[in-house]
Structures are given as structure tokens and as C-alpha cells.
Amino acid sequence: MRGRAWIGELRTWVTGVDPGLGRLRLAGVATAAMVLAVALMSVVRAVTGQPVTVVVFAAVLAMVSNLSVNEPDLHRSRVTTALMVLPAAAATVLGTLLAEHRLVSDVVFVLVMIAAVWIRRYGPRGMALGMAMFMPYFFTQFLQAKPGQLPTLLAAVAVGFGSTLLLRGFVFAEKPEKVLDDLLRAVRAHVHALALAVIDVLEAPADDEKDVDAALRDLHRRRTRLNDTMLLVVDRIEQLRDERENPDEEAGEDDPRRALSLAVADLELAAERLAVSTRRLADDPERPGALEPEVREALLDGVRGLASATATGAPEAMRGAVLAGARRSVEELAEEHSGARPREQRVAFAVIRLADALEGGESAVPAPITLAQQSEDPEDEEEVPGRPVDRIALSTRQAVQVGVATSLAIVAGELISPSRWYWAVIAAFVVFAGTASRGDVLARGWQRLIGTVGGVVAGMLLAFAVGGRAVPTLILLAACVFLALYLFRISVGLLAFWITAVLALLYGLIGQFSVETLVLRVIETAAGGALGALAALVILPKHTRAAFREALDDTVLALDEALEATVDRLTGRPPTGLPVELARAADEKLGTLRQRAKPLDNPLPRRHGRGSYQRALRVLTAVDHYTRALARLSDRIVVPGWAPTLDPAVERIRANIAGLGDLLRPGGPAARDGIVSAEDLVDAAEAWASRCDDPGLRRDLLAAVRPLRRIDQVVVGFAGDLAGGRARAQEPAESRG
């Protein structure tokens, strides 16, 4: 039984660690495409007598096309992959004809890299076409291609991209419905992991604060992973919606996509409620371990039931019975009216709600919403504040930076090693991929250097182990390529690690392995990364705080739009958008803000004590959570008579959120002017709701007031801390989780 339980936990972990098996699919298909390209070009090579480098060229293009094409729609993915042949062929011809003219070819190489970065402004397709320009031109310089090799090199271009198009676009094409099923299984796996983390918190000894805090940190990590997976699920649902025969047609009441979207929102909010209520319970001076034994066991039984029902491989027929058992475990506690154990009751309520959400009990689809017409007034577009350089488009800024960095890298690489200069150029070029500020560039450059150093050590060990024997070397090569492709979305350092190991094995296979060569790779990589970072710091620099400010403004605006649409929906006015979708968009903006804040580990400028970027993120995460909860409630509550008391409260809260955004913005005001608690206005809205004659509607209205009150408390409390306000302003428990 223990063995079966261990296997079940392993399956659940595997399901959750790679949501929808997206990374596994990418790595598997890319590796297969490379193998196919190698096989086909080996035949061409045998016929033409060309060197083995043409085989490597085709394999690299197969890998690049898999890594670069990130179109969510299958048709667009196929078109993008096919279009990559054109710039790749042009770059191959140009690079081959210029290979013998070193100075001219270097100048053109820099121009190609500038164009490859600038074209990223056109989204995922631009990113892919840019890489299709860069990589073939680079390889013609690296291989010192001759004009007589052009037919074979062009054949390699066709084979490399054709292998990807065939396997990824047709043979192993992603079916959105299948991927969505995989993602939903991953969601259950993450709920399972979150339930296990809650169990750890409840089982923690009362006198072991360190153990409890460690369990709470783990709970926070698992909640974040669940949220990330939910974003992937929503993206897939939107993809299914876009692929309808008439995508402009409004989703009707019976649209399964809308039902699924709402069910996912319910499940996420219910899981977050369990995490938040557990955090509150842990913040009680009486630690969870000091709970009354029967209460503690009831909560543990309920959460264990949730964990059992969400384990990967659990029989569908048994889920209902297990979830019913989880409800029964906490029913008595949830129905208490003494008020003596409010925090314990909140956990019990959360268990019941999550059990209901897992069964889809709250996912009834409301009637379609009539949206207000949005005016398109060009005067509404405000000029971006800040320095003139901050108004330059990201792709233009990075194109200039790449031009400077790679020009210097060519010179530095030649000085270090005339035969290995290309490693410095690649390091200077790729360090700008997926970045928005100089802090991002520095972080990626450092990760790449660390990964390269680790890859040198691993590569030497692997090369010495196989001793140049062909069969084990080829097996290890395939394994290393697979791992590089599987892990590159997690960390560029891991990608650099495995690619460096691949190089060590390749050098061993062709008899050119040496420690000096691998050490030279580290030096060239460090030089290229340093020059890229230098260009980001000096040439049209995008300060990390400026990138944070832009993402912060986007997040605050998205939260404001979601709240506005939600209150319009609650009071019967046509909203400017679907509240649930606007709230989800705000959640995505918050995810971008988290990425922009990663390089910022220092306190906010002119702020002291607890005013850190990380705490700001936690507070905005709490606001985002309550906004989504309120948006979900608006799907079943429409009360026009509530407007006179609800509108003033929400307007004050929206103004406070905007004021908090000003406080958080680097260079913003030091005082909390204009941020005034909406407590009295929320009380008035709550008083109106409490007089509702319909018990069910009254319960829903009061439930809608609670997230508004929590948003107000979170925002005003944090604003007071930032501006040196009242000492009693405390960070709420849920904002820390």
C-alpha cells in the first residue's frame, strides 16, 4: 500500500510540475525534429559529399524553429514556421556570399542582429522571424561557408524547418481540447499540493514557530504555482473560443467554454480561500498545534479528503464520495453559532467551498451580459511620463543596445580567441531575449554565466566517462539536448548548462575535446554577457524601476477597470467588459509586475522598514484576489437599488488604489494625500444590504461587501505604512500569503 501511495504521489507531482505536459511535449517534439533533420541531411550529405557541418546546420535550425515559435493557435504556428524559411534562406545566401569578406560580413552581421531584435515588436511571429534571420547568418560565418555549398545549405534550411513543421504542425500537433484536459489535471494536482501544505500547517507543533513559518512559506509557493497554472488554463479556454466558426459571436448561456471558465474561476478562488483562512489561523497567537484535538482532527480530516479527491489517478467514481466525506468532517464546526472559534470556522467554510468547486457546484452560467459601447477617443491616450528615453519602444531600445553590444563582442571575442569569437557574440545577443530592463539583462547574464560554468564541469565529466565512444556519446547528446529544451523555460542558466555539456560531448566525438576549449567558452560567455549588460546600462538604459513603474501603472489601471465593470454589473448598468475576464486580465498584469520586480530586492526609494517591493506585491496580490472574488459574485447579483450606497464606497476604494499606485511609483509622493479609508461608506453599503428582505440575496450582498472591505483595509493600511502613517496599520494575514 505504501508503494502504491508513493507512486500516486509521484504521478501527482509529475502532473503538477509540468502543467499540461507542455515542456515535455516541446522537448520531445523538438528532439524528434532534430533527429529527423539529422537523418535526412545525412542522406543528402552522403549523396553530395558535403562536410558534416551541413547536418549540424539542419539540426540547429530544427531546434531554433521549435524554441522560437510560440503562437498559441495551431494554424498561426504552422504559418509562422513556414514563413521562417524565407528570412532563413535570405540570411543563408547573404552570409555565404559575404563569408570571405570579413569586415563587410561583420558589419552586416550586426545589422542582421539589430533587425532581428527590432522585429520583435510584432509579437511572437516577429520574435520567430528574427531568430530565423540571426541563426542561419551566424552559422554561415561560423562554418566559413563557400558559395559552392549554397544548394546544400538551402536544402538544410528546408529540412530543418520542414522537420519542425511536419512533426509539430501535423504529426504531433497539439489538440487544444487534449491540452486543456491535461491542464485541468495539473490544476487538480496543484490543489492537491496546496491541500498537503495546509495539512503541514495544521499538524505543525504549537511551540515550533520555525516549523510553522516554513510550512506557511511552502503554502505560499504552492498557491502561486496554482495561480500560474490557472492562467495557462484560461489561455487555452480563450484559444478554444477564438477557434469557433464565428469568433465574434457572443458566448451564449449554453456555451461550454464560458461554463468552464467560470468553473475554473470558482476553483481558484476556493483554493485561495483555503490558503488565506489557513494563514489567518496560523497567525493566531494560539498556534494550530494548540487547537482543541477534536477541532484539529475535523479540519485535518476535511483537508485530507480534499487531498485524496485531487490526487492524480484517483477514480472519478470515488471523487464525489470522498468530497462528501470532506464536507461531513467539518460540517459540525461550520454550523456552530457561538462565535467562539471564528478562524477555525473560516477554514471549515473554505473546505466546504473547495469541495463544492471541485464538483462544479457553483459554476452555474449566468445570462449573457450586455456590454456598454467603448468610445475610442484618441485624446484619451496620455503621453507616457518620465524621461524621453523611457518613451522609446522596447524593441527599438534593445535593437540599438544589441547593435552596440554585439559590435563590441565581435572585437572582444576576436581578441580572446580568433577561432571562438562567436561565443561572445551569442552571449551578447541572447542576453536581451525576454528582458525589459537593465536589471533583467544583468540577471539573465549572470544566470547564463553560472550555467556555463556548471556545464563545463558536467561536460568534462561526461566526456571523460564516454571516452569518445560513438554510441554512448550519441545517447548522451540526445539526452542533454532533450533536457536543455525541457528546462529552458524554467531558467536560461539551465539551458546554458546543458548546451555547454552538449558542446563538450561533440568535441569529444570529433576528437577535439580539451579542457582549454571549455574554459575558453566560459571566458567568451562572460565577456559577451558583460558587454550586453554594459550596453543595457549605458546605451538608452531602461531603469528597472521605470519598468516596474510601467507594469505597476498597468496593474492599477486593470484593477480599476475590473472594479468599475463589477460595480456596474452589480447595480444593473451595462459594464464596459465582462467582470470575470477583466479581473483575469488584471491578474495577468500582476504577473508581469512580479517579473519586473524580481531584480528589485532593495527597499522602495525613500521608504524604510516594511515598505519593500515584495510587500507591495503581496498587498496588490491581496487586492487582485478580492477583486476576482467580487467579479465572480457579480455574475449572480444584480441590484440597481444598491447603487446610491455602493457607488460612493467603490469610487473611494478605486481612488485609494490609484493613490497607492502613486505612492509605490519611484519618485512618487511621500505623503498619503487623498488616500482616505472608505470604512464609513462600506458600512453604509453593508447596512443597505443587511435590510434586504430576501435571505438568499441578503447573504450574497453581504458576501460582496466583504471583499470591498478587505481591499480598503489592505490598501489604506499599506499606504499608511509607506507614508509613515499610523503605527497600528498592520499587514493583513492574507496579503502575506
d(CA 303, CA 319): 14
Tell me the three cell numbers of residue 366: 449566468
Residue 31: inside a domain: yes
For residue 78, how many other CB atoms are within 10 A of its CB? 17
Residue 382: what pLDDT? 41
Residues 611 and 485 in one domain: no
Looking at the fold, whether 62 and 135 belong to one and the same domain comes out as: yes
Q: Residue 379: count other Cβ atoms within 10 Å of its Cβ.
A: 5
Long-range contacts (CB closer than 8 Å, 24 or more residues apart) made by 341-348: 341/295, 343/277, 343/280, 343/281, 343/284, 344/281, 344/291, 344/295, 344/299, 346/277, 346/280, 346/281, 347/274, 347/277, 347/278, 347/281, 347/299, 348/298, 348/299, 348/302
Count of CA atoms in the C-beta half-sphere (13 A) of 699: 2
For residue 612, what are the β-bridge partners? Answer: 603
Q: 419 and 528 share a domain? A: yes
Alpha helices by DSSP H, listed for 488-570, are 492-509, 515-538, 544-570
CA distances 551 to 131, 435, 594, Å, are 27, 13, 9
Residue 124: which of 88, 71, 174 has the closest Cα? 71
Instruction: Give the integer Cα–Cα distance in Å for 241 and 177.
Output: 11
Report d(CA 426, CA 691) in Å as an integer. Answer: 68
Determine the pLDDT at residue 672: 61
Q: Nine-digit cell at 58? A: 539542419
The cell for 56 is 549540424
CB 356 within 8 A of CB 320: no
* 185 φ, ψ (degrees, to nearest 5): -65, -40
Q: Are residues 299 and 421 in the same domain?
A: no
96, 225: one domain = no
Q: Is residue 53 part of a domain?
A: yes
144, part of any domain: yes
Q: Are residues 138 and 31 in the same domain?
A: yes
In a domain, 249, yes or no: no
Do 192 and 163 fall into the same domain?
no
Are residues 12 and 140 both part of a single domain? yes
Residues 150 and 194 in one domain: no
Quote the CA–CA distance of 127 and 64 in Å, as a whole number: 11
Are 281 and 348 found together in one domain? yes
Whats the size of the chain, residue-wise? Answer: 737
- Chain position carrying cell 483562512: 277
From 506, 527, 542, give the residue that closes a domain.
Answer: 542
pTM of the full predicted structure? 0.74
Q: The CATH number of the domain where 626 resides is what? A: 1.20.58
Residue 209 lies in a domain: yes
pLDDT of the residue at 54? 92
Count of domains observed in the chain: 4
Residue 671 pLDDT? 59
Is 368 among the domain residues?
no
Of 542, 562, 596, the domain-final residue: 542
To the nearest 5 percent, what fractions of the chain are helix, strand and coil?
A: 75, 0, 25
Q: Which domain holds residue 695?
A: 546-736
Whether 18 is covered by a domain: the verdict is yes
Q: Is residue 366 part of a domain?
A: no
Do 553 and 613 belong together in one domain?
yes
What pLDDT was estimated at residue 71?
85
* Average pLDDT by stretches of 10, the chain with 737 residues: 54 71 90 95 93 90 93 89 98 95 93 95 93 94 90 97 97 81 84 94 83 90 84 70 48 56 77 88 67 91 95 85 95 80 88 88 44 44 48 85 95 91 90 78 86 92 87 89 89 90 84 85 92 88 80 93 94 90 89 80 41 72 87 88 95 92 72 79 90 88 88 84 47 37
* Predicted pLDDT of residue 729: 35
Residue 480, C-beta contacts closer than 8 angstroms, at least 6 positions apart = 462, 498, 499, 501, 502, 505
- Which residues lie across from 603 on neighbouring strands? 612
Residue 515 to residue 461: CA distance in whole angstroms: 11
Q: DSSP string covering 570-621, please?
A: HTTPPPSS-HHHHHHHHHHHHHHHHHHHTT--SBPTT--TT-BHHHHHHHHH
Rounded CA gap, 435 and 396, in Å? 13
Please check whether residues 49 and 157 belong to one and the same domain: yes
Choose the final residue of a domain: 315, 341, 358.
358
Residue type, 594: R
Backbone angles phi, psi at 700, to 5 degrees: -65, -40
